[in-house]
Amino acid sequence: MGIASYSYNRYLRDGTMELEDFIDRAFELGVDGVELNQLYFKPEIDRIRLIKRILLNYGLDLSCVTVDNNFCKPDPGERRKEVEFVRKWIDATVTLGSPVMRINAGWPPEGVSQDTAFKWAVECIKESANYAERYGLMLVVENHGGITSTAEQVVKLLEAVNSDWFRVNLDTGNFRENIYESIEAVAPYAVHIHAKIYELGLEWHGLDSYWVEKRLDYRRIMEILVKSGYNGYISLEYEGREDPLTAVPKAIDFLDNIIF
């Protein structure tokens, strides 16, 4: 199990916490690996070397590098910039040693049809996946709104790109309808998972108490993942209102007890 750096977004974005502090905290919490979001560092070789050395010193895996891009921009020149941006981060991810890099498909602006945006995204992802394949890097798309809002859209995109080096980062909290059916439909294509945690509460069983996620049925989710044969990383992504300094340790304890 791992932790996504986005779990501490409020501290990483305002500068209260540096990425190195996040890695220190992940080690203290006893997880196996971390997921690093490009929002919090630049792909400069000196920074990459430092991050890589810290991970090695702690014996932590780097399960995924998360990149925020948008392949649904109407201007072809802007889409080209997005492809180059992703390519730059592929190079950085390979240097860091992560086997997986998450990208987005994109969000079509008003006035652009889903079909048109889909074609743009497929072209950009095919080029990006071909580049990643040279290095044996798996690109994964997330069910993250836009043209990947539903399980049907995600599977359609996978089939259209048709690459052995393009799969899914399944986010357990991002489907808005038919949550568990959608997770089940996408799970066979997943090579990395965001375990979204919003709010934890205590549930009592006799004299024993357990943390429970109030918005998602994780026992049902875990049964789906086991049935699908998933055996990759489960990366905690905390997005609740509680301070992550107190919420993340509880979320890790919850997931430790729920993972089969």
Tokens of residue 28, six digits: 């203290």
Distance of CA 131 to the CA centre of its chain: 20
Picking from 91, 34, 37, the residue whose alpha carbon sits closest to that of residue 66 is: 37
Distance of CA 130 to the CA centre of its chain: 21
Predicted confidence (pLDDT) at residue 156 exceeds the cutoff of 80: yes
Tell me what pLDDT residue 207 has: 66
Dihedral sign of CA atoms 184, 186, 187, 188 in order: positive
Amino acid at 39: L
Tokens of residue 107, six digits: 């969000």
Report domain 2-258's class. alpha beta
**Tokens 């205590």, residue?**
202
Predicted confidence (pLDDT) at residue 120 exceeds the cutoff of 80: yes
pLDDT tens sequence across 195-247: 999 999 988 777 677 788 999 999 999 999 999 999 999 999 999 999 999 99
pLDDT tens sequence across 54-68: 999 999 999 999 999
Tell me what pLDDT residue 205 has: 72
Partners of 46 in beta bridges: none
Predicted confidence (pLDDT) at residue 260 exceeds the cutoff of 70: no
